[in-house]
Amino acid sequence: MAPRGSGLDWRGCALATPPGWDWPSAGCPPARPLDMASQLRLRSALALVTGAGSGIGRAVSVRLAKEGATVAACDLDRAAACETVWLLGGQGSEKVAPGGAHTAFQADVSEAGAVRRLLEQVQACFSRPPSVVVSCAGLTRDEFLLRMSEDDWDRVIAVNLKGIFLVTQAAAQALVSSGCRGSIINISSIVGKVGNVGQTNYAASKAGVIGLTQTAARELGRHGIRCNSVLPGFITTPMTQKVPQKVLDKVIGMIPMGHLGDPEDVADAVTFLASEDSGYITGASVEVTGGLFM
Ligand SMILES: CCCCCCCCCCCCCC(=O)CC(=O)SCCNC(=O)CCNC(=O)[C@H](O)C(C)(C)COP(=O)(O)OP(=O)(O)OC[C@H]1O[C@@H](n2cnc3c(N)ncnc32)[C@H](O)[C@@H]1OP(=O)(O)O
Ligand SMILES: NC(=O)C1=CN([C@@H]2O[C@H](COP(=O)(O)OP(=O)(O)OC[C@H]3O[C@@H](n4cnc5c(N)ncnc54)[C@H](O)[C@@H]3O)[C@@H](O)[C@H]2O)C=CC1
């Protein structure tokens, strides 16, 4: 906590003051009463993160935990989810998880039964539904339209769109039946807004996520459940490693901020939407793109 009269705000950032100005200790503006506990915007939250085993989902898990949330880290890849929990300092897997510890779960979000079991396991482990739900699980199967297979279309839609439908529905059902408020954040993509060569399947799935989330926001607002989409641009993760270098070189030149984003850039936006700092925001699409395709 910044001492009174230090010219620093409640976060310890320098206040914009005229040169030579010295905050009179009695006269400085009331800093937001802040102790360590109130710095933790999510200290009472249970957060379910899908796709938590890599890239953006892992960064989201780390950031939410830093803000005090208990994280249920879910991934198709159990080992990757456990590695994320280890990074958070948690011990468990759903078999031995002590209540409250960060915990790893395995599920294929494209399968209805797996998602139903996931929400059952999370509630059995923590005796409550997750009040923060972040759907990061996703994949690409890029190909030109003229050559794209039905399987490439089906798998991308199943994971990226149906998976978010299943997780959003199961989480909302648990929250509504328990009378709990919540914040659901679905990871779309700027591709869902503008399309992209080689991604008819992926673009359709991500555009669908936006419409799904806006509709969920309309239906769930009355229950105190907010639903928002985040639309990242090119973010450095294993997913973008597959992009041909010549395409990557071209797109970097199109980004007003001149560089690719990091998973932590997305995690910061997600954490804002998860917290009460965004308490009157629902149905929004938040672009984290460095200005690409603004
Ligand atoms: C003028 C360039 C503008 C680039 C704009 C790109 C904007 C993308 C923003 C995305 C931000 C969010 C990303 C996200 O949500 C996470 C992801 O989805 S990461 C994966 C993104 N995927 C792609 O961008 C597709 C990349 N392309 C490919 O994987 C392969 O090209 C493909 C499998 C589709 C076909 O492979 P192949 O048959 O081997 O053809 P080439 O690779 O040789 O390409 C032929 C030709 O087409 C050009 N090209 C390919 N992809 C793109 C593209 N996305 N945008 C523009 N041009 C593309 C490629 O450069 C070649 O051009 P030549 O002039 O013939 O060299
Ligand atoms: N990296 C980027 O530039 C961008 C990524 N996104 C989106 O962000 C999300 C996370 O992507 P990244 O972290 O970059 O990718 P990533 O490939 O690093 O991580 C994706 C994670 O999802 C998991 N997953 C895949 N299919 C699953 C399934 N059926 N069930 C459960 N988990 C599954 C994978 O195991 C992996 O751990 C995705 O939805 C992606 O579409 C959106 C815009 C840009």
**Ligand 1 binding site (Cβ under 6 Å of any ligand atom):** 140, 142-144, 189-191, 196-199, 202, 233-234, 239-240, 243-244, 246-247, 250-251
What is the rounded average pLDDT of the residues 94-100? 43
Which residues are part of the catalytic machinery?
A: 202
Q: What is the mean pLDDT of the chain?
A: 89
Confidence class for position 102, pLDDT limits 50, 70, 90: very high
Confidence class for position 90, pLDDT limits 50, 70, 90: low
**Is 28 a residue whose pLDDT tops 80?**
no
Q: Comparing 157 with 37, which gets the higher pLDDT? A: 157
**Is 267 a residue whose pLDDT tops 60?**
yes
Confidence class for position 91, pLDDT limits 50, 70, 90: low
37-66: buried (b, 16+ CB within 10 Å) or exposed (e) per residue? eeebbbeebbbbbbbbbbbbbbbbbbbbbe
pLDDT digits (tens, 9 = 90+) for 110-129: 999 999 999 999 999 999 99
Among 10-24, 63-77, 153-167, 272-286, the range scoring the smallest mean pLDDT is: 10-24
pLDDT digits (tens, 9 = 90+) for 126-171: 999 999 999 999 999 999 999 999 999 999 999 999 999 999 999 9
What is the rounded average pLDDT of the residues 52-60? 98
- The reported pLDDT for the residue numbered 3 is 52
Q: Which of 50, 190, 230, 237 to mutate to test the pocket of ligand 2 (most atoms within 8 A of CB)?
A: 237
- The reported pLDDT for the residue numbered 141 is 98
Dist. CA 53–CA 269, nearest whole Å: 19
**Ligand 2 binding site (Cβ under 6 Å of any ligand atom):** 50-51, 53-57, 75-77, 80, 108-110, 136-139, 159, 163, 187, 189, 232, 234-235, 237-240
- The reported pLDDT for the residue numbered 39 is 73
Q: Which of 115, 110, 90, 114 is nearest to 101 (CA)?
A: 90
Cα–Cα distance list, 108 to 114, 149, 192, 228 (Å): 6, 22, 22, 22
Dist. CA 272–CA 287, nearest whole Å: 13
pLDDT digits (tens, 9 = 90+) for 220-234: 999 999 999 999 999
Output the CA 132–ligand 1 centroid distance in Å. 34
**Is 19 a residue whose pLDDT tops 90?**
no
Look up residue 144 and give its two tokens.
């030109």
